[in-house]
Structure 1
Amino acid sequence: MSTPYPFTALVGQDDLRLALLLNAVSPAVGGVLVRGEKGTAKSTAVRALSALLPEVPVVAGCRFSCDPVAPDPNCPDGPHDSGGATARPARMVELPVGASEDRLVGALDIERALAEGVKAFEPGLLADAHRGILYVDEVNLLHDHLVDLLLDAAAMGASYVEREGVSVRHAARFLLVGTMNPEEGELRPQLLDRFGLTVEVAASRETDQRVEVVRRRLAYDDDPEGFAGRWAEDEAALRERVVAARALLPRVTLGDGALRQIAATCAAFEVDGMRADIVMARTATALAAWAGRTDVESEDVRQAALLALPHRRRRNPFDAPGLDEDKLDETLEEAREDEAPEPDGTPEPPEGDDDPDGGGPDGGGPGGGQPPADGPDSPELPSQNQGPEAEETSAPQEPVPAPGGASGEQQAVRAAEPFRTKMLSVPGIGEGAAGRRSRARTEHGRTTGSRRPRGALTKLHLAATVQAAAPHQKARGRSGAGLVVRRDDLRQATREGREGNLVLFVVDASGSMAARQRMSAVKGAVLSLLLDAYQRRDKVGLVTFRGKDAEVALPPTSSVDAAAARLESLPSGGRTPLAAGLLKAHDVLRIERLRDAARRPLVVVVTDGRATGGVEPVARAGRAARLFAAEGVACVVVDCESGYVRLGLAGQLAGELGGTAVTLDELRADSIAGLVKDVQGTRGGSTSRRAA
């Protein structure tokens, strides 16, 4: 095993190092999620942490790392006697993104089953990580079925395995550490909340610090052991401090004043549930122990909030994590004032008179000199917390003339407030890329059955194979303990997971769609569906049409936030080349089908149905629409027509597409989500059967 990079040799990243050390002091804090761009030493820091953890006392020979003082009564290797205790270094177990379910939770020992004919359980990574660190690099790319198993184990502190004739339960309490690049997608809220703390990391923009990073890294690559030796004394000192803080932790007092500040802070930032309060309390206690104190101070609460709350207060996946530190200081100050006794003769101010945005210029509260938790990104936090009302007061941009002599192009309007959509899924079972939307046969997922292999065997279903071979053992002359297995006995495991889909938005940006209120509502609806696609790992594309032609504003991509940015800046004006927009979308689907034939598409056309560009615009639009109907592509038309007199052109377009239309007034969560699901049920059946 190669020598790990020393933890004390890391340059900068103060918040990251503090969060990891607090979990080393108090594993009950609940782990760390490290978010940041690539190349910021996320993985290096996590791997270096394990060397600072104290040794773990275990029962000798126990594969599940039972504590000799209090062994697990349900341990599969038990019961354990009082003797045979030993100590080993704390483990850091890495969970690969592409790991199988068997590798994570364990499974039947195939070697012993085939060679000896006995059932024996082979532990997985959850057993290896018990009382240590479970590290998931690129945790946001983890398959859904693995996320579910991880959530269950983290919530219960145990892993339950019921499969292939094996019934096992074993303890699985671990420090969960994950790293991720937000550009590649976000985490499910359930998994996000399981991480006690979160840290944003970014590369330093200071020349001297970057030079020192390169210098140290080159020195480590040239001589890892020699480099580690130069930092051995600092590593030993830090390890001793962790041990001392752990010993002090039980004596730290969390007073009522600190508890009131914690509760007031969580309430002020409107975090969901009570886990944030508990994590903040544990983090503040660990901070006091790390500082060598037995009392939790206000500054401990403040720092705990900066680490424990940013990822819990997000209201949609495109919001960057962060806290308004001025608001945090005001909240802490108000909690202290509420606790303090009221002076005689001083009337208490009536409720509702305080202006949270009109406090003193210093923002109140303690912590002067405390560095921002989010490093270089912190200057952006105030604007992120001002909300859409503040952004709408900015000065409007000057209109830009539309090209080609068309009517004037209007400035881009802001999207209305997005809303939550229902689960949109394609019926049947596909075979697309792993995702979080529709049912699919996948390489990694829950085992749903078995079949005879067609071609090469890839996933052996052991129980079915043994069952197929067992009746023939006498006829095959079996004499020993081993099982006689032939090719005809082999069974392929069939597994079911979830796939991602291609959601292609075709948006009318012509003059007939230029009413600001309508465009704002349309953008809000499309943004809502983008948010859903973001969480479910879909690919999305954006085609817009106006003036004389259509363009691919965003080719199909997994970076859904890029689509949201293009949508937000989309201007409008000019004629309505509907046929060009549909043909461009059809061309996008054709090319994408060559690249990824298994990914099933859903086309969302946002228009009022008018067609005014080119020769015979209505007839050309009808012919283009019928291409989608002929190929069985699921389509929905968002009817943006307004006014007392309605022509119903969007409904006609939907009929030619073989889809369904919904009016702009119906463009809310229940109606649009239900509609798309119905459309997929009627038009997606043939596609699903072909994929199946």
Structure 2
Amino acid sequence: MPVQYPFAAVVGCDLDAGLDDMGLALVLTTISPEIGGVLVRGEKGTAKSTTVRGLAAVLPPIDVVAGDRFSSDPRDRAPLSPDGPFAADAPVETRPVRLVELPVGATEDRVIGSLHLERALSAGQVEYEPGLLARAHRGILYVDEVNLLHDHLVDLLLDAAAMGRVSVERDGVSVEHAARFVLIGTMNPEEGELRPQLLDRFGLTVEVAAPRDAALRAEVVRRRMAYDADPDDFAAAYADAEAALTARVVAAQELVGQVELTDSALLAIAELCAAFDVDGLRADIVTARAAVAHAAWEGRDRVTREDVRRAATLSLPHRRRRNPFDAPGLDEDLLDDLLGDDEPEGPDPDGPDDDPEPPGGGQDPVDQPASAEDGPEPSGGGTPAPTTERAGAPYRARLLTVRGLGAGTAGRRSRAVTASGRRTGAAPLGSGGGLHLVETLRTAAGRQAGRDRVDARVALRPGDLRGAVREGREANLVLFCVDASGSMAARKRMGQVKTAVLSLLLDAYRRRDKVGLITFRGDRADLALPPTRSVDVAARRLEELPAGGRTPLAEGLLEAAHVLDRERRRDPRLRPLLVVVTDGRATGGPDAVARSRQAAAYVASLGITSVVVDGESGPLRLGLAVALAEHLGAEHLPVAEVSAEVLTGVARSARGGRAA
């Protein structure tokens, strides 16, 4: 087995210099697993996985009942283990804490366990085969790229972590076993976010980024190269530091139950959570547990102001978000003001050090947003300069789907054959829908002639196995092709368009889609955002989008076709949905109208599901977007009807008219 990169060797996990946020959060949740785990968010290449994998090595070993598949604690008088009960003098073995990694593509059966197929089919015995949660009991369950894990699995993990047990009721199996583990998830926000409801379920969250200091970066490279050259010698060099970490964790685990959380400290935590406007009371509970664990880590038997502060910086930032496009964070100046001091102190002899507020209410005039009422500034030659309209508050958008039945990654948009969902049939096992026992036995029953049978039992062969075919929903690639020309900027039309696109982006976020953004204006089309699962970035690019100039509609459509062709080659299962946002005018270059029709016909020939969101408004309309939709074979959707509430209102009016 290869030597693991030491936890103490990760820059930021130096015990003498003090742990950084990531190292501290990981240590605190191992001292007090009731905190609820850690979510580590950061760009790729920031040692997230390396740090988590090194954590298990510094944790003290545990005693387990020998032979028990569920790692029961010998000191537990009534362990929740299907392998029990155990005798009082049952043998005990000591082993290291396990780090169990859960693959993103794991099935629910693999996670919680299921019927042991081999025993059931060969001997007719109903026996439970434990899953990854059973193996992770009293250890660490690590999910890399947790944001790509299907929501129902994340819910299952978080429920098990909160309850401390798993109940399995399926395929004739009824089992309950203990599952107390430290849940750690890592993710790159560029690949998409977790839903706010799931984000809140993680006890602590930290943001990591590569250091910008050249000396620190050089030290990271130096250590990594030394490890790659000789892992054994490198690990030996950090053996003492690892032992010191282990000793301190052991001491903190023994002390944590004796730490006093005073009424004043608890009140301070409650005031913080109320002041930062977090939802529910989970933040209060997690912050209190983290503060107690931090006090134990520092060797104190009483929670102090510093313990509350450190706990709050880890437990509150991700709970302050109000919509998916808000960046997580915490105003630490406000945090310090709310906490105050443990004891009154005299005035600072050096006087106040607060910076005077800059003109303009504290906002640098250079960074002040342009008013939506400001008109275009004239530039050289009298040509209007591009303007930047801001989007309004997003609303709930109507559901746009891809035609037909797909087979892509599970999501919430278009119909598809998936591993979970409504059972619609059966197919040879391997379709991903789980074993279909009735269809397996029915298939085998028709093939019994010529088979050796024992005691009149049905003789099964591998070819008899049938899996359930299930229909659910898939995620899609939603490519926005947005007209940013002067005609769209007229009469503040772009603000309405941006609000509609922002609402559709929010819908894509909730449905776990991949999104891309193409803009066209002047004489060219630009891929403003290559397809990604980070709709936050798409929202920022949309907000910064200027408008003005001619309308190169053909260039926009051809660029969309090029991007979709490239993405289809990368992932043929990811079906695209093209959303063209325009008023349908084509004024860019010679023969603009004819070229736009040819481009639309070409896109239509690719068989891509398209929607034209018509940005034209006002009493006088040319209907050019309607014609474009006909050439594309696309649905035509006026921008005012993107809202799901508008669609509901139309349906209600239609029903009312029929009733009358």
Q: Does residue 82 of structure 2 align to residue 105 of structure 1?
A: no
Cα distance, 1:244–1:521 mapped onto 2, change above 3 Å? same
Q: Does residue 465 of structure 2 align to residue 490 of structure 1?
A: yes
- Tell me the equivalent position of 2:407: 431
Code of the residue aligned with 2:495 in structure 1: it is S
Cα distance, 1:221–1:552 mapped onto 2, change above 3 Å? closer
- Tell me the equivalent position of 1:285: 292
What are the Cα deviations for residues 425-461 of structure 1, in whole angstroms up to 9, with x where unaligned?
A: 557641124444334224x54683663439x888772
- Relative to the length of structure 1, the TM-score reads 0.80
Structure 1 residue corresponding to 2:482, chosen from 504, 507, 515: 507
CA contact (8 A) 2:424 2:471 kept: no
- Tell me the equivalent position of 2:330: 323
Code of the residue aligned with 1:21 in structure 2: it is V
Please state whether the residue corresponding to 2:268 is helix, strand or coil: helix
- Tell me the equivalent position of 1:392: 369
Structure 2 residue corresponding to 1:43, chosen from 37, 49, 61: 49
- Tell me the equivalent position of 1:11: 11
Structure 1 residue corresponding to 2:174, chosen from 147, 159, 167: 167
- Tell me the equivalent position of 2:492: 517
Code of the residue aligned with 2:369 in structure 1: it is E
CA distance in 2, matches of 1:586, 1:204: 39
Cα distance, 1:106–1:386 mapped onto 2, change above 3 Å? farther
- Could you tell which deviates more after superposition, 552-561 or 527-536? 552-561
CA contact (8 A) 2:431 2:469 kept: no
CA contact (8 A) 1:576 1:612 kept: yes
CA contact (8 A) 2:397 2:642 kept: no
- Relative to the length of structure 2, the TM-score reads 0.83
- Could you tell which deviates more after superposition, 445-454 or 87-96? 445-454
What are the Cα deviations for residues 150-183 of structure 1, in whole angstroms up to 9, with x where unaligned?
A: 2332343322323333232222221101111222
After TM superposition, list the pairs within 5 Å mapping 1:211-226 onto structure 2: 211-226=218-233
- Tell me the equivalent position of 1:203: 210
How many equivalent pairs are there?
Answer: 629
CA contact (8 A) 2:427 2:466 kept: yes
Please state whether the residue corresponding to 1:392 is helix, strand or coil: coil
CA distance in 1, matches of 2:566, 2:21: 45
- Tell me the equivalent position of 1:689: none
Code of the residue aligned with 1:518 in structure 2: it is R
Cα distance, 1:611–1:206 mapped onto 2, change above 3 Å? closer
After TM superposition, list the pairs within 5 Å mapping 1:150-161 onto structure 2: 150-161=157-168
Structure 2 residue corresponding to 1:411, chosen from 375, 384, 387: 387
- Tell me the equivalent position of 1:563: 538
Structure 2 residue corresponding to 1:66, chosen from 59, 66, 72: 72
Cα distance, 1:532–1:211 mapped onto 2, change above 3 Å? same
- Tell me the equivalent position of 1:276: 283
CA distance in 2, matches of 1:73, 1:449: 41
- Tell me the equivalent position of 2:359: none
Please state whether the residue corresponding to 2:24 is helix, strand or coil: helix
After TM superposition, list the pairs within 5 Å mapping 1:523-542 onto structure 2: 523-542=498-517
CA distance in 1, matches of 2:251, 2:130: 33
Gaps of 5+ in 2: 14-19, 345-351, 356-361, 651-660
Please state whether the residue corresponding to 1:51 is helix, strand or coil: helix
CA contact (8 A) 2:407 2:417 kept: yes
Q: Does residue 322 of structure 2 align to residue 300 of structure 1?
A: no
Please state whether the residue corresponding to 1:293 is helix, strand or coil: coil
- Tell me the equivalent position of 1:24: 30
Code of the residue aligned with 1:256 in structure 2: it is D
Structure 2 residue corresponding to 1:670, chosen from 627, 645, 648: 645
Q: Does residue 162 of structure 2 align to residue 188 of structure 1?
A: no
CA contact (8 A) 1:164 1:462 kept: no
CA distance in 1, matches of 2:433, 2:365: 51
Cα distance, 1:410–1:165 mapped onto 2, change above 3 Å? same
Structure 1 residue corresponding to 2:255, chosen from 242, 248, 258: 248
CA distance in 1, matches of 2:353, 2:398: 44
Code of the residue aligned with 1:571 in structure 2: it is P
What's the CA shift for 1:125? Answer: 0.2
Please state whether the residue corresponding to 2:428 is helix, strand or coil: coil
CA distance in 2, matches of 1:386, 1:528: 28
What's the CA shift for 1:554? Answer: 4.1
What's the CA shift for 1:208? Answer: 3.1
What are the Cα deviations for residues 504-526 of structure 1, in whole angstroms up to 9, with x where unaligned?
A: 22222221222473322322321
CA distance in 1, matches of 2:631, 2:223: 65
Code of the residue aligned with 1:437 in structure 2: it is R
CA distance in 1, matches of 2:337, 2:375: 35
After TM superposition, list the pairs within 5 Å mapping 1:613-628 onto structure 2: 613=588
Gaps of 5+ in 1: 341-359, 364-384, 676-692
CA distance in 2, matches of 1:132, 1:44: 17
CA distance in 1, matches of 2:569, 2:521: 28
After TM superposition, list the pairs within 5 Å mapping 1:249-264 onto structure 2: 249-264=256-271
Code of the residue aligned with 1:49 in structure 2: it is L
Code of the residue aligned with 1:299 in structure 2: it is E
What's the CA shift for 1:301? Answer: 1.1
Q: Does residue 94 of structure 2 align to residue 117 of structure 1?
A: no
- Tell me the equivalent position of 1:608: 583
What are the Cα deviations for residues 24-78 of structure 1, in whole angstroms up to 9, with x where unaligned?
A: 2111111111122222222222122212323333333221222334355653223
Q: What's the RMSD between the two structures over aligned residues?
A: 3.9
CA contact (8 A) 1:662 1:672 kept: no
Cα distance, 1:127–1:481 mapped onto 2, change above 3 Å? farther
Structure 2 residue corresponding to 1:80, chosen from 86, 94, 98: 86
CA distance in 1, matches of 2:606, 2:229: 59
Structure 2 residue corresponding to 1:461, chosen from 406, 412, 435: 435
CA distance in 2, matches of 1:473, 1:667: 58
Please state whether the residue corresponding to 2:517 is helix, strand or coil: strand
CA distance in 2, matches of 1:180, 1:288: 28
What's the CA shift for 1:103? Answer: 1.7
What's the CA shift for 1:293? Answer: 1.4
CA distance in 1, matches of 2:59, 2:122: 40
Cα distance, 1:518–1:462 mapped onto 2, change above 3 Å? closer
Structure 2 residue corresponding to 1:92, chosen from 91, 99, 120: 99
- Could you tell which deviates more after superposition, 98-107 or 132-141? 98-107
- Tell me the equivalent position of 2:520: 545
CA distance in 1, matches of 2:264, 2:479: 53
What's the CA shift for 1:122? Answer: 0.8
CA contact (8 A) 1:458 1:492 kept: yes
CA distance in 2, matches of 1:157, 1:259: 25
What are the Cα deviations for residues 352-403 of structure 1, in whole angstroms up to 9, with x where unaligned?
A: xxxxxxxx7559xxxxxxxxxxxxxxxxxxxxx989997426999995869x
Cα distance, 1:201–1:83 mapped onto 2, change above 3 Å? same
Cα distance, 1:173–1:563 mapped onto 2, change above 3 Å? same
CA distance in 1, matches of 2:528, 2:594: 25
Code of the residue aligned with 1:10 in structure 2: it is V
- Tell me the equivalent position of 1:688: none
Code of the residue aligned with 2:253 in structure 1: it is R
Code of the residue aligned with 1:305 in structure 2: it is A
Please state whether the residue corresponding to 2:26 is helix, strand or coil: helix
Q: Percent identity?
A: 61
- Tell me the equivalent position of 1:440: 416
Please state whether the residue corresponding to 2:340 is helix, strand or coil: helix
CA distance in 2, matches of 1:307, 1:471: 61
Structure 2 residue corresponding to 1:134, chosen from 141, 146, 168: 141
CA contact (8 A) 2:424 2:469 kept: yes
